[in-house]
């Protein structure tokens, strides 16, 4: 029986697919001691072992992640790694691919923050392509924050000063404590259903990491990501970052800054409009003056001053020239025809019998018919002899042939 064998590479790839197919191994927080740490200077990658008292695992941290480590890692230091488990098929050895490295004393909140951040980043919730632009002139602005906090007053003061025409939709919620996340999600749901707001500002004033932790909720982040309306996140002070900041369309360092980002400054808009108005007036005035000067030039031209002469005079001149050409043509035609008639008359005169008679000849006719031969006559016939100056009647008395 033939054994169907697989290659080593096929086996390793299969085991790798099993490891990467287990979602529990794709976002793991791992703690232990650094050992055999090597930084590859050409590539910038970290290669090291993470161990505890009972076991060890090979680890790698690629340059794009290693460059973000905020401390100097060294052998013997306790750290927390956040990353995934996979297999390096060339060696057939499974290893941990670290994406974040924190000192072991960072605390549970920081660890949870980094874990959620890595998970949502991998899912694409932070991608720039999903960010929605802010409307340039919002009419309705929803504010999701505490009704009693200083953040709300800061936002209202800025909005009323910069863009007083905007309507404020206040959605008061808790921003700290067990009910905060649920209340903020419920407020966002209502705003999404109503669809009346142009922008949503969600946030609170500064506080400790524990007080800001509600804005690191994965559920709240997913709800913000699902918003059909642009969302500005304004949580804490400028140095504070939350998961809401990363998933929102815009991150404001403070609530006051969020209000400034959300609306234009009406004073600047007014100055800009006044500038445009001045430019428009100047342009129209220049155009008017140019057209007026051009019109004056046209009106004062000889054509407009002597319109009748220009219009009628030109046409009369054309008629006179046409009449002159017509008369000249007709006169030439008459001269030519007169010459033709004279020539014909001369030729006719040369052929006329009267011309012959004028030289002493006479034309004989009998009974009105010309006598061309003596044989036509007999003795006693009456004939007429026509001379150039008259005619006579004769009788034939004698005939010679």
Closest to 199 measured CA to CA, from 151, 294, 135: 135
Q: Are residues 137 and 172 in the same domain?
A: yes
Q: Looking at the domain assignment, is residue 290 inside a domain?
A: no
- CB atoms under 10 Å from CB of 125, counted, come to 19
Cβ atoms 46, 39 nearer than 8 A: yes
H/E run at residue 244: helix 243-247
Burial 256-269 (b: 16+ CB within 10 A, else e): bbbbbbbbeeeeee
Question: Which pLDDT value is given to residue 25?
Answer: 92
Closest to 173 measured CA to CA, from 194, 190, 156: 190
Q: Looking at the domain assignment, is residue 240 inside a domain?
A: yes
Among 264, 282, 317, residue at a domain's last position: 264
Q: Are residues 379 and 323 in the same domain?
A: no
Q: Are residues 44 and 67 in the same domain?
A: yes
Name the pLDDT band for 313 (thresholds 50, 70, 90).
Answer: low
Q: Give the mean model confidence (pLDDT) for residues 175-201.
A: 95
Report pLDDT digits (tens) over 64-78: 999 888 788 899 888
Q: Residue 99: which region, alpha, beta or left (left: phi > 0; alpha: psi -120 to 50)?
A: alpha
Q: Are residues 52 and 159 in the same domain?
A: no
pLDDT surpassing 70 at residue 163: yes
> Which domain does 249 fall in, by range?
128-264
Q: Give me the helix-helix angle, 180-194 and 218-225, nearest 10°.
A: 10
Which pTM value belongs to this model?
A: 0.53
Q: Are residues 390 and 339 in the same domain?
A: no
Report pLDDT digits (tens) over 293-310: 888 887 777 666 666 666
Give the whole-angstrom CA distance, residue 106 versus residue 102: 7
Strands 231-235 and 250-251: parallel
Output DSSP code: residue 142. Answer: E
Question: Which pLDDT value is given to residue 225?
Answer: 97
């Amino acid at each position: 029986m033939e054994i169907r064998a697989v290659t080593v590479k096929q086996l390793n790839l299969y085991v790798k697919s099993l490891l990467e197919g287990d979602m529990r191994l794709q976002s793991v927080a791992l703690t232990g001691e650094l050992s055999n740490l090597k930084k590859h200077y050409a590539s910038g990658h970290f290669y090291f072992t993470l161990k505890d008292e009972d076991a060890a695992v090979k680890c790698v941290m690629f340059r794009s992640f290693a460059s973000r480590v905020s401390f100097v890692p060294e052998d013997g230091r306790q750290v927390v790694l956040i990353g995934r488990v996979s297999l390096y098929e060339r060696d057939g050895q499974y290893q941990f691919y670290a994406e974040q490295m924190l000192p072991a004393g960072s605390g549970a909140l920081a660890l949870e923050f980094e874990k959620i951040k890595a998970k949502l980043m991998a899912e694409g919730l932070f991608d720039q392509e999903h960010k929605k632009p802010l409307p340039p002139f919002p009419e309705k602005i929803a504010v999701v924050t505490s009704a009693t906090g200083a953040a709300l007053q800061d936002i209202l003061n800025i909005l009323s000063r910069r863009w007083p025409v905007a309507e404020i939709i206040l959605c008061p919620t808790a921003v700290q404590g067990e009910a905060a996340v649920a209340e903020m999600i419920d407020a966002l749901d209502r705003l999404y259903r109503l669809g009346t707001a142009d922008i949503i500002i969600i946030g609170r004033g500064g506080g400790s990491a524990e007080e800001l932790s509600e804005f690191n909720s994965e559920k709240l982040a997913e709800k913000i990501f699902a918003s059909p309306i642009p969302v500005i996140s304004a949580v804490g002070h400028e140095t504070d970052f939350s998961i809401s900041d990363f998933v929102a369309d815009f991150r404001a360092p403070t609530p006051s800054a969020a209000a400034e980002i959300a609306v234009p400054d009406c004073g600047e808009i007014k100055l800009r409009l006044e500038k445009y108005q001045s430019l428009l007036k100047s342009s129209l005035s220049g155009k008017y003056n140019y057209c007026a000067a051009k019109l004056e030039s046209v009106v004062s031209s000889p054509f407009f001053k002597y319109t009748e002469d220009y219009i009628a005079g030109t046409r009369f001149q054309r008629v006179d020239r046409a009449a002159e050409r017509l008369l000249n043509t007709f006169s030439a035609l008459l001269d030519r025809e007169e010459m033709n008639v004279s020539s014909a008359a001369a030729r006719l005169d040369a052929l006329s019998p009267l011309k012959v008679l004028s030289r002493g000849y006479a034309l004989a006719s009998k009974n009105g018919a010309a006598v061309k031969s003596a044989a036509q006559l007999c003795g006693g016939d009456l004939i007429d002899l026509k001379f150039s100056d008259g005619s006579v009647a004769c009788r034939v008395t004698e005939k010679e042939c």
